[in-house]
Amino acid sequence: MHPRASLAIAAGRLGAATLHRLSRGGTALPGVVALRLDPRLATRLGRQLRAGRLIITGTNGKTTTARMTSAMLEAAGSPVLHNREGSNLMRGITSALLAYADMRGTLHTEPGTVGLFETDEATTPLAARALQPTAIAITNLFRDQLDRYGEVDTVAAFWREALAASPPGASLVLNADDPSVAELGTGWSGPVHYVGIDDPAHAGGPVGATDARWCHACNGDFRYEQRFFAHLGHWRCQGCGLARPEPDTRATDVHLGLDDATFTVDGLGEVHMHLTGLYNVWNALCAIGLARTMGLPNDAIRAGLEAVRPAFGRQERVEVDGVGMRLLLAKNPAGANQVVRLLSAIEQPLQVAVLLNDRFADGQDVSWTWDVDYEFIADRVSRCWVGGDRAADMALRLKYAGWPAPRAVERSPAVLIDAILRDAQPGEELFVLPTYSALLDFRQDLVRRGGTEAFWQT
């Protein structure tokens, strides 16, 4: 073992112990400390995971896909080492590995442990170089917060770099419905497993947030035979004829409920999950694709999918004074359009609160709200409320979308919740669409009102 590594591990562990004393475990600080002392620590530790090293990346859905994959592996009896605390930069990956390392730099995991690493787009090349993945899954490529990585092409370039740094025999699991992701499989030296949705019933609907896309091979434009959502669908390049690859794992007969979904997969039959939204069907397909490239049995794949419950802040329901509030995180155009699409499938009049913040975690440019098809549900909304630091901007956006005049436009979460509870009757169901920091503020106030026990169950 390299002496530098021992020092790095010692320092990292000391950091971890300190954090536990402060009861703030699970952060990336140990990884930060250890990486400063030994930048190659993730390589030294990660490559000891000989049963498999999986990287999951993409703009949206990587956490959900990782949780689904992890549940499938566990159902198959495979132990998993997962950077599940949500830190998807190198320091978070290193922290996850450090938790299992001894002072000599040996990883003490159960035999057959698979490493599952959820990685931020820009971190993927570093992670691929360090971990030499056995498989990489890419969920989708959206224009995320405007001020984060800039262009879609920048992110695609990160991924090409990651593939170039990966072992030539690594398996790729790619979303066939996303041209920018599917194109990455062209010319790949190892196996490529494509996943996609084949259900014309879900084509059409809102098409906002269509990031400009053109063919990487010839700069031609894509034409869609079916478009499910934004730029996701059955595409073909009008220049060179490059087209959506035939999926190896396809979803047909997709039924989306308010709290769950079912769909049929060739060779698996009908599967059920406690998550909804077309976007979660793609996440499930990516997880199934990864599980299949690892040869997991069908029973484990089905059981893993069934075991996953909604994550923190993604899809939760809380009751205050008898009023049910469903919290649906809408932090960027892609996410918000997916939520709009989900609401459009509900057959009763909608009561909706939209909360817009512009703090660092939300992205400070709020012009993205103009890329969301709020118009699509305008005639379905019966009552609405508007909140967050940029409540006035949001109210203006919804006015242009043709929504009814809001019952309240309030920056303060407490005042807003008072207004909602004045209007809504016990037994009614509301939908709350917050950005990330607005969700935290809103939640905190619900906690104060004591209606939120169910919140903290994961």
Nearer to Zn ion, 117 or 222 (CB): 222
Least separation in angstroms between residue 1's CB and Zn ion is: 50
- Which stretch in 36-44, 70-78, 207-215, 252-260 sits in contact with Zn ion by CB under 5 A? 207-215
Least separation in angstroms between residue 222's CB and Zn ion is: 8
Question: Amino acid letter at 337?
Answer: N
In angstroms, rounded to a whole number, what is the distance separating the alpha carbons of residues 350 and 363?
27
Q: Is 447 in the site for Zn ion (CB under 5 A)?
A: no
| Cα–Cα separations (whole angstroms), residue 97 to 1, 74, 291 | 16, 18, 22
With CB atoms as reference, the residue minimizing the distance to Zn ion is 215
If phi over 0 gives left and psi between -120 and 50 gives alpha, with beta otherwise, what is residue 247?
Answer: beta
Nearer to Zn ion, 170 or 237 (CB): 237
DSSP state of 10: H
Angle ∠(309,310,315) on CA atoms, nearest 5: 150
Nearer to Zn ion, 154 or 186 (CB): 186
Site residues for Zn ion, 240-279, by CB under 5 A, read 240, 242
Question: Amino acid letter at 135?
Answer: A
Nearer to Zn ion, 156 or 334 (CB): 156
Nearer to Zn ion, 134 or 180 (CB): 180
- Which stretch in 75-83, 117-125, 231-239, 277-285 sits in contact with Zn ion by CB under 5 A? 231-239
Q: Is 186 in the site for Zn ion (CB under 5 A)?
A: no
Q: 250 φ, ψ to 5°?
A: -125, 145
- Strands in 350-355's sheet, in edge-to-edge order, are 316-320, 323-327, 429-434, 350-355, 381-387, 409-410
Least separation in angstroms between residue 228's CB and Zn ion is: 21
Least separation in angstroms between residue 233's CB and Zn ion is: 16
Nearer to Zn ion, 190 or 239 (CB): 239
In 3D, which of 59, 70, 62, 48 has the Cα closest to residue 132?
48
In 3D, which of 175, 53, 172, 30 has the Cα closest to residue 114?
53
**Residues touching Zn ion, count (CB under 5 A):** 8
If phi over 0 gives left and psi between -120 and 50 gives alpha, with beta otherwise, what is residue 307?
Answer: alpha
Instruction: Please give the helix or strand (H or E) that residue 250 lies within, else none.
Output: strand 249-256
- Which stretch in 184-192, 208-216, 295-303, 429-437 sits in contact with Zn ion by CB under 5 A? 208-216
Q: Parallel, antiparallel, or unpaired for β 261-265 and 323-327?
A: unpaired
Of positions 75, 155, 215, 339, contacts Zn ion by CB under 5 A: 215
Of positions 164, 218, 405, 454, contacts Zn ion by CB under 5 A: 218
In angstroms, rounded to a whole number, what is the distance separating the alpha carbons of residues 180 and 121?
14
Angle ∠(382,208,363) on CA atoms, nearest 5: 90
Of positions 190, 191, 205, 239, contacts Zn ion by CB under 5 A: 239
In angstroms, rounded to a whole number, what is the distance separating the alpha carbons of residues 111 and 50?
9
Least separation in angstroms between residue 221's CB and Zn ion is: 9
Count of CB atoms within 10 A of residue 343's CB?
Answer: 19
In angstroms, rounded to a whole number, what is the distance separating the alpha carbons of residues 87 and 28?
6
Which residues of 402-455 form beta strands (DSSP E)? 409-410, 429-434
Residues forming a β-bridge with 386: 354, 409
Least separation in angstroms between residue 183's CB and Zn ion is: 9
Look up 365 and say whether it is catalytic: yes
Greatest Cα-to-Cα distance within the chain, rounded to the nearest angstrom: 67
- Which stretch in 33-41, 98-106, 236-244, 351-359 sits in contact with Zn ion by CB under 5 A? 236-244
Of positions 220, 245, 324, 451, contacts Zn ion by CB under 5 A: 220
Nearer to Zn ion, 238 or 252 (CB): 238
Least separation in angstroms between residue 279's CB and Zn ion is: 26
Count of CB atoms within 10 A of residue 415's CB?
Answer: 13
In angstroms, rounded to a whole number, what is the distance separating the alpha carbons of residues 302 and 288?
9
Least separation in angstroms between residue 323's CB and Zn ion is: 52
Residue from 365, 371, 389, 418 carrying the catalytic annotation? 365
Nearer to Zn ion, 242 or 417 (CB): 242
Nearer to Zn ion, 187 or 427 (CB): 187
Of positions 195, 237, 328, 439, contacts Zn ion by CB under 5 A: 237
Least separation in angstroms between residue 142's CB and Zn ion is: 21
- Which stretch in 96-104, 217-225, 275-283, 307-315 sits in contact with Zn ion by CB under 5 A? 217-225
- Which stretch in 47-55, 201-209, 234-242, 306-314 sits in contact with Zn ion by CB under 5 A? 234-242
- Active site members: 365
Query: Interface with Zn ion by CB under 5 A: which residues?
Result: 215, 217-218, 220, 237, 239-240, 242
